[in-house]
Structure 1
Amino acid sequence: MKFEKGKVITKEKTYFVEELELLKFISDKKELILLLTENNIESLIAYISAINSSHAVMLLHLKGNNEFLERIIDNYLPKWIIGLKERKGYIYNNGILTRESSVTIHIHRELALLLNTSGTTGSQKFVRLSYENLQSNAQSIIEYLEIDENERAIMHLPLSYSYGMSIVNSHLLAGASILLTDESVIEKSLWEFVQKQKATSLAGVPFTYQMLHRIGFMQMELPHLKVLTQAGGRLNEKLVKLFGEYAQQHNKRFYIMYGQTEASPRISYVPYDKVLEKSGTIGISIPGGQLSIEGELNELVYRGGNVMMGYAESVNDLAKGNELEGVLHTGDTATMDEDGYFTITGRIKRFIKLFGLRINLDDVEKKLEEIFHIPLACTGSDDKLIVAIEKVDKVGQVKEIIENLYKLHKTAYKVIVIDEIPRLANGKTNYTTLKELCL
Structure 2
Amino acid sequence: MTKLYDLIAANPQLEYVDAATGQHFGVSDLTHTLDLEPQHGLAFLYLDNSIAAIEALLNFLDSPFTIALLSPKLNIAYKQQLEQLYRPCYIYDPSRTAVEGFEATVRLFKNTVQAGYSIHPDIKVLLSTSGTTGSPKFVKLSEDNLVQNALSIIDYLPIQHHDVTPLTLPVFYSYGLSVFTTNSIAGGQVVCTSRDVVQKEFWEDFNRYGYTSVAGVPYVYEMLHRIGFCKKEYASLRYMTQAGGRLSPVLAKTFGEYMAVRDKRFYIMYGQTEATARMAYLPPEALLSKAGSIGIPVKNGRFDISPDTQELVYTGPNVFGGYATGTADLQTFDHHPVLYTGDMAEKDADGYYYITGRMKRFVKLFGTRVNLDEVEAILKNTLNGGTVACIGVEDKYLLVQHLGALDSSAIKQLLSEKLQLHVSVFRIQQVDEFLLTPNGKVDYTAMQQMGLAEKV
User: TM-score normalised to the size of structure 1?
Assistant: 0.96
> Does residue 130 of structure 1 match 2:138?
no
Q: In 2, distance between residues paired with 1:434 and 1:348?
A: 14
Moved more, 266-275 or 97-106: 97-106
Q: In 2, distance between residues paired with 1:148 and 1:427?
A: 57
Cα drift, residue 315 of structure 1? 1.7
> Does residue 10 of structure 1 match 2:23?
no
Corresponding position of 1:423: 436
| Pairs within 5 Å for 1:119-198 | 119-198=131-210
Q: Give, as a single letter, the amino acid of the residue that structure 2 aligns with 1:118.
A: S
Corresponding position of 1:382: 395
Is the 2:141–2:320 Cα contact (8 Å) retained in structure 1?
Answer: yes
| Pairs within 5 Å for 1:111-122 | 111-122=123-134
> Does residue 338 of structure 1 match 2:346?
no
Q: In 2, distance between residues paired with 1:33 and 1:363?
A: 25
Cα drift, residue 263 of structure 1? 0.7
Q: Give, as a single letter, the amino acid of the residue that structure 2 aligns with 1:77.
A: R
Q: In 1, distance between residues paired with 2:36 and 2:191?
A: 30
DSSP 3-state at the match of 2:203:
helix
Cα drift, residue 326 of structure 1? 1.0
CA shift digits 1:250-289 (9 cap, x unpaired): 2210000010011111110001111111120111001111
Moved more, 98-107 or 208-217: 98-107
DSSP 3-state at the match of 2:84:
helix
| Alignment equivalent of 2:240, drawn from 204, 213, 228 | 228
User: Cα gap change, 1:226/1:424 in structure 2, threshold over 3 Å: closer, same or farther?
Assistant: same
Q: In 2, distance between residues paired with 1:82 and 1:246?
A: 41
Corresponding position of 2:448: 435
| Pairs within 5 Å for 1:195-206 | 195-206=207-218
Q: In 2, distance between residues paired with 1:392 and 1:85?
A: 42
| Pairs within 5 Å for 1:13-412 | 13-83=23-93, 84-321=96-333, 323-372=334-383, 373-380=385-392, 381-412=394-425
Cα drift, residue 175 of structure 1? 4.4
Is the 1:56–1:111 Cα contact (8 Å) retained in structure 2?
Answer: yes
Q: In 1, distance between residues paired with 2:247 and 2:238?
A: 20
Cα drift, residue 290 of structure 1? 0.8
Cα drift, residue 298 of structure 1? 1.0
Is the 1:267–1:286 Cα contact (8 Å) retained in structure 2?
Answer: yes
Is the 2:164–2:187 Cα contact (8 Å) retained in structure 1?
Answer: no
Cα drift, residue 28 of structure 1? 4.5
Q: In 2, distance between residues paired with 1:23 and 1:36?
A: 18
Of all paired residues, the percent bearing the same amino acid is 38
CA shift digits 1:326-348 (9 cap, x unpaired): 11111111111111111111111
User: Cα gap change, 1:309/1:25 in structure 2, threshold over 3 Å: closer, same or farther?
Assistant: farther
Is the 1:60–1:120 Cα contact (8 Å) retained in structure 2?
Answer: no
Is the 2:31–2:58 Cα contact (8 Å) retained in structure 1?
Answer: no
Cα drift, residue 221 of structure 1? 2.2
Is the 1:171–1:178 Cα contact (8 Å) retained in structure 2?
Answer: yes
User: Runs of 5+ in structure 2 lacking a partner?
Assistant: none
Cα drift, residue 38 of structure 1? 1.3
Q: In 2, distance between residues paired with 1:47 and 1:21?
A: 9
Is the 1:22–1:46 Cα contact (8 Å) retained in structure 2?
Answer: no
Q: In 1, distance between residues paired with 2:87 and 2:126?
A: 13
Is the 1:152–1:176 Cα contact (8 Å) retained in structure 2?
Answer: yes
User: TM-score normalised to the size of structure 2?
Assistant: 0.93
Is the 1:10–1:181 Cα contact (8 Å) retained in structure 2?
Answer: yes
Cα drift, residue 21 of structure 1? 4.5
Is the 1:85–1:97 Cα contact (8 Å) retained in structure 2?
Answer: no
CA shift digits 1:342-380 (9 cap, x unpaired): 111111111111111111222222322233233322122
Q: In 2, distance between residues paired with 1:367 and 1:99?
A: 30
Q: Give, as a single letter, the amino acid of the residue that structure 1 aligns with 2:156.
A: Y
Q: Give, as a single letter, the amino acid of the residue that structure 2 aligns with 1:254.
A: F
DSSP 3-state at the match of 1:111:
coil
Q: In 2, distance between residues paired with 1:93 and 1:393?
A: 47
User: Cα gap change, 1:297/1:10 in structure 2, threshold over 3 Å: closer, same or farther?
Assistant: same
CA shift digits 1:302-322 (9 cap, x unpaired): 11111111111112222212x
DSSP 3-state at the match of 1:179:
strand
Q: Give, as a single letter, the amino acid of the residue that structure 2 aligns with 1:36.
A: Y
Is the 1:263–1:307 Cα contact (8 Å) retained in structure 2?
Answer: yes
Q: In 2, distance between residues paired with 1:96 and 1:363?
A: 31
Is the 1:85–1:95 Cα contact (8 Å) retained in structure 2?
Answer: no
Is the 2:74–2:134 Cα contact (8 Å) retained in structure 1?
Answer: no
DSSP 3-state at the match of 1:81:
strand
- Name the Cα RMSD after superposition: 1.5
User: Cα gap change, 1:104/1:334 in structure 2, threshold over 3 Å: closer, same or farther?
Assistant: same
Q: Give, as a single letter, the amino acid of the residue that structure 1 aligns with 2:161.
A: E
Is the 1:85–1:96 Cα contact (8 Å) retained in structure 2?
Answer: no
User: Runs of 5+ in structure 1 lacking a partner?
Assistant: none
